[in-house]
Amino acid sequence: MVPLPEPFAELAGFEWDEGNSEKNWRSHSVTRADAEQAFLNRPVVVAQDIKHSQEEPRFTLLGRSNADRQLFAAFTIRGGRVRIISARPMSRRERRVYEEARHAQAQADS
């Protein structure tokens, strides 16, 4: 397994619900591998999802797959693992936010 980058370095990996995994594929053509890669490739944009955090803390992530597919993921952390709830292509607004983060990361790296 590839080590997770910050802010996920202390986590042990991924956990999936079969129903959610199948729904991501059927509805959005997003595989488990695509979704997991979005967490591993820099930059990632992570935010707390307060609206959906009634039962447990939930978060959203903007990232990209190894094939440079820009993805949105909703997730929680359970038992030291990232549990992906939903994954889909980014919306236009999310792509704009992500591109700003990529630009900022490129500036910081140079």
Domain borders along the chain are 13-109
- Res 102 pLDDT > 60: yes
Strand pairing partners for 78? 81
Within the chain, residue ranges assigned H as helices are 18-28, 32-40, 92-109
Q: What is the pLDDT of residues 51-91, one digit of tens each?
A: 877 788 899 999 999 999 999 999 998 888 999 999 999 99
**pLDDT over threshold 70, residue 96:** yes
| The dihedral formed by the CA atoms of 85, 32, 48 and 81, expressed in degrees to the nearest 10 | 90
Taking the alpha carbons of 23, 72, 39, 66 in that order, is the dihedral positive or negative?
positive
Is residue 3's pLDDT more than 50? no
- Would the pTM count as exceeding 0.75? yes
Q: How confident is the model at residue 7 (pLDDT cuts 50, 70, 90)?
A: low
Mean pLDDT of the chain: 88
